[in-house]
Amino acid sequence: MTDNDFFRVATGDDGIAVLTWDAQSSPVNIFSEPAIEAYRDAIEQLIADDSVRGVVIASAKSVFHVGADLEMAQAMGKRDEGELFAKIMEINAVFRRMETGGKPFVAAINGQALGGGFEMAMACHARILGDGPKVELGLPESKLGLMPGFGGTQRLPRLIALDRAVPMMLLGTSLKARDAVQLGLVTAIVPDVELIAEARSWALANPAAKQPWDEKGFKLPSGSVQSPKNFQFFIGASAQAAKTTGGHHPAVQAILEAVYQGLQLPIDPALRVEARRFVRIAHSAESRSMIRTLFFGMNAANRLARRPEGFAPTDIKTIGIVGAGLMGAGIAYQAARAGIDAVVLDVSDEAAANAKAYSERLLDRDFSRGKTTQDKVDTHLARIQPTTDYTDLARCDLVIEAVFEAKDVKETVLRAVEAVVRPDAIIASNTSTIPITQLGKFIEKSARFIGMHFFSPVEKMPLVEIISGQETAPQTLAAAFDLCKLLRKTPIDVNDGRAFFTTKVVSSYMTEGMALLSEGVAPALIENAGKALGMPMGPLRLADMVNLDLVVKIDDQTKADLGADYLPHPGMPLSHALVAQGRVGEKAKAGFYDYCEGGPLLWSGLAALSPPRPDQPDVEMVKQRLLTIQMVETLRCYDSGVLKTAADADLGSILGWGFPAYTGGIATHIDNIGAAQVLSLSQRFAHDAGKRFDPPTKLKTLAASDGLLHAA
C-alpha cells in the first residue's frame, strides 16, 4: 500500500500493519473529505490483504486524532439532507468494516483522541494508551453545537455506564488516561516508547477479536434502557439539560434522543438513528453560528489575526502593575503563570502584599489537589515582587494601571508611571469605563498608551478587550496583542468610547432589568426572562454582583461628563434608592437580593420600592426587551466607531458577559434574526419604553439594504 498525505502504512514480518496518521498539510490529524476517502481505501486494502493479520492505528503527531475538519463540518451543513446522510453512513460503514472485517484493530493512543478521533478509536477492538500527559479522550462536539456523528453516541454507552457516557457527551468533557482505565474504556496504559509494541502484541494475541456488541447476547453496561433505573436516568438527564440550556441547544436534546433510541436497537440501525439526528443538527443555525465564532473566530483571535503587521514581536519579560486589588493581583497571577515577572505597586506594603497573597491562595489550592509541585509554586511566587516604590517600575517592559475607577486617582498614577519607565515602555490601563483618549491626556507620549480591559476573575476569564485611544500608535496595539498571547488570553480589538463595547452593552442589560422593575414588572419575572434568554443570570442578580454603588458611580460620572447630552435612565432612581439604604449589592449581602445561607433570594422590600402592577406583562415581551436593548447598544457601538468587526462583537459578547453561546454571539444573532426584525423591535420599544431604544443609524442602514454585520 502506498503512503499518502494523511498517513503511512508499514506491515511488519509479524503481519501487523501499523497505519500511522501524519497529516502533511495540517498540524493535527483530522478527518477532511480526502482524508476520509484515503482512510476508507486503506481499511479496505488492509482487510483484503491476506498477509495482514491485524492493524494498529497510531499517530506521528503529538495528538492522536482530533476528529472532523470543522471546515468540512461547516460545508456539510450546506449539503442536501439525503446527501449528507449518505456521506455520514459511508464513514460509519468504514468503522463497521474495521469491527467486522475479521482482523483485530488496535488504537495506540499517544495524545488527544477527540471527536471523530475518539470515535475511530472506539471502533477499534482495543485501545492502548501511552503514559504521556497529553492523553485525553472525549467527544466535545456539543460545545460547538454539534453532536457525535461517527457512532460516538452509540459506542460510548455500549462501552461504559450511561451515567458516565451521557454527561461526557452533553457537556463535551474529556477523560484523562487514569479515568479511562478505571471506566474500562481502554485495555492498558504503557510507557510511550512501548505503545506500538504493546498494541502489536495485543493484535497478535487476539486474532479473532470482536466488538462486544457484535457478540451474541450482548448486554449494555447499564442494562436495558427501559429498566426503571435507566428510565429515571433519562427523565433526570432531559430535565437537567432543559434547565441548563433553556431548550436553546438542539444538539443536547439530539444526543439524548440518539442514545435513548439507539440503545434499544442493534448497532447498525442504531448508527442510522444517530446519523439522522446528526444531519438535523449539522443543518441547525446554532451549530453553524457556534462553529464560526467559537472555533474559527476564536482561533483567528488567538492567532492574533488582527495584530497590526510590520512590528517584530514585543519582548515582554517583566510587567508592572499598579494597584494590587482584585484585578491587579489577578493579572500578576496570570503573568507569573506565563513565566513573566510582575512588579506590583500599591499605596502600602500591606496593600501590595495582596498580589502575592492572591497567587498563594490559588497555588495552595492547586497544590492540595496535586495539580502543581512545590517547585512550581516557589518559582511562581518568586516572579511576583510587591512594592510601594515607583522606581521599581523602571525595569518593566509594560505597565498596567489597575487602581480605583476614578479619573483623578488614575491621573496621579499614570503621571508617576511615565516619570519612571523607559521611553519605549508601553503603558496600559485596565479601566472598564473611562475613555482611553481622556486618560491618555495625562501621558506625554500618549502614542504608547492603550486600554487593556481584563475581566474578573482574571485567571478564569479568557477575554481581554484592547482599546486604542485616538493617539495610540499601531506598535502599541501590537504590543498589547503580544501580551495577550503571552498571557494566553483571547483579545478583541475595539476603538475608544465611553465604556467601550463590553461594559456598555452588559450595563444596558442590567439597567433594562431595573427599568422593567421600576415599571412594576415582578422581579422574579424579569430574572427568569433573562435566564430564559440563555444569559448566565438575571439582570438584577448581575447588577448585585457588579455592585450597585459602582453602577451608580458610573451613572454619576456619565452625567458629569455628558452634561446636556446625558439621557436619564428610568432604571437608575431605583439603584440610587437601594444604595442610599446601604443595599449596595452582593458585597454587602444586600441589594436586589438578600444573600442568606441558602443562596440569594429576591429582597421582599422591592415590592414597597416598586409596587408590582396588577397586569404583569407576557414573559416573551420581557425577554425581547432584555435582548433588544443589548442588540441596539451593540449597533450603537458601530455608529460610534467603537466596534470594528462583527467577529469581535461575537467573541466579546460570549466571553465577556456570557451572552448565550448558542447564538454564536451578538452580531451573529442580529444577522440570524435579520436587521428588519431588529429594527421593528427597536421601534416598538422606543415607542413603549423610551428613547434608549431608538434605532441606531447602522441598524437603519442594514435594514434598508437587507445587509448583514458579518458581510460588512
- Shortest reach from residue 481's CB to ligand NAD, in Å: 19
According to CB under 6 A, which residues from 416 to 445 bind ligand NAD? 430-432
From the list 92-100, 255-263, 287-295, 447-455, the region that binds ligand NAD by CB under 6 A is: 447-455
According to CB under 6 A, which residues from 365 to 384 bind ligand NAD? none
Q: Give the torsion through C-alpha atoms of 580, 582, 584, 587, to 10 deg.
A: 170
**Omega before residue 207 within 30° of 0, cis:** no
- Shortest reach from residue 346's CB to ligand NAD, in Å: 4
Short-list 341, 551, 329, CA closest to 432: 551
**Which single residue is written with the C-alpha cell 479473532?**
208
580 binds ligand NAD per the rule CB under 6 A: no
Question: Which helix or strand (DSSP H or E) is residue 362 part of?
Answer: helix 349-368
293, 650 in Cβ contact below 8 A? yes
- Shortest reach from residue 7's CB to ligand NAD, in Å: 47
235 binds ligand NAD per the rule CB under 6 A: no
| Widest distance between CA atoms in the chain | 87
From the list 340-348, 511-519, 644-652, 694-702, the region that binds ligand NAD by CB under 6 A is: 340-348
- Shortest reach from residue 272's CB to ligand NAD, in Å: 50
Phi, psi of 601 (to 5 degrees): -130, 135
> From residue 305 to residue 334, what is the string marking binding to ligand NAD with x (rule CB under 6 A)?
-----------------xxxxxxx------
Question: In the structure grid, which three cell numbers stand for residue 102, read together?
Answer: 475479521
Question: Which helix or strand (DSSP H or E) is residue 429 part of?
Answer: strand 426-429
240 binds ligand NAD per the rule CB under 6 A: no
* Residue of this chain nearest to ligand NAD (CB atom): 325
What 3-state class would DSSP assign to 226?
coil
Is 576 part of the annotated catalytic residue set? Answer: no
From the list 198-206, 258-266, 397-405, 659-667, the region that binds ligand NAD by CB under 6 A is: 397-405
**Omega before residue 568 within 30° of 0, cis:** no
> From residue 590 to residue 609, what is the string marking binding to ligand NAD with x (rule CB under 6 A)?
--------------------
351 binds ligand NAD per the rule CB under 6 A: yes
User: How far apart, in whole angstroms, are the C-alpha atoms of residue 276 and residue 248?
Assistant: 20
- Count of Cβ atoms closer than 10 Å to residue 607 Cβ: 13
404 binds ligand NAD per the rule CB under 6 A: yes
Q: Residue 192 to residues 55, 129, 435, 655: CA-CA distances in angstroms?
A: 18, 8, 54, 37
- Shortest reach from residue 322's CB to ligand NAD, in Å: 5
> From residue 448 to residue 487, what is the string marking binding to ligand NAD with x (rule CB under 6 A)?
-----xxxx-------------------------------
328, 321 in Cβ contact below 8 A? yes
Question: In the structure grid, which three cell numbers stand for residue 350, read together?
Answer: 500591606
Q: Exactly one of 93, 265, 381, 409 binds ligand NAD (CB under 6 A); which one?
A: 409
Phi-psi region of 345 (alpha: psi -120 to 50; beta: other; left: phi over 0): beta
Exactly one of 125, 249, 380, 453 is catalytic; which is it?
A: 453
405 binds ligand NAD per the rule CB under 6 A: yes
445, 515 in Cβ contact below 8 A? no
Q: Is 587 exposed, middle or buried (0-12, 13-18, 19+ CB in 10 A)?
A: middle
Tell me the three-class secondary structure of 412-428, residue by residue. Answer: HHHHHHHHHCCCCCEEE
User: How far apart, in whole angstroms, are the C-alpha atoms of residue 2 and residue 9?
Assistant: 7
- Shortest reach from residue 454's CB to ligand NAD, in Å: 6
- Residue 137 or 542: which CB sits closer to ligand NAD? 542
346 binds ligand NAD per the rule CB under 6 A: yes
617 binds ligand NAD per the rule CB under 6 A: no
* Rg of the chain in Å (alpha carbons): 28
According to CB under 6 A, which residues from 502 to 541 bind ligand NAD? none
239 binds ligand NAD per the rule CB under 6 A: no
What 3-state class would DSSP assign to 330?
helix
- Shortest reach from residue 344's CB to ligand NAD, in Å: 9
- Residue 336 or 436: which CB sits closer to ligand NAD? 436
- Residue 245 or 558: which CB sits closer to ligand NAD? 558
347 binds ligand NAD per the rule CB under 6 A: yes
Q: Could you give the residue numbers annotated as active site?
A: 453
Binding site for ligand NAD (CB under 6 A): 322-328, 345-347, 351, 402-405, 409, 412-413, 430-432, 453-456
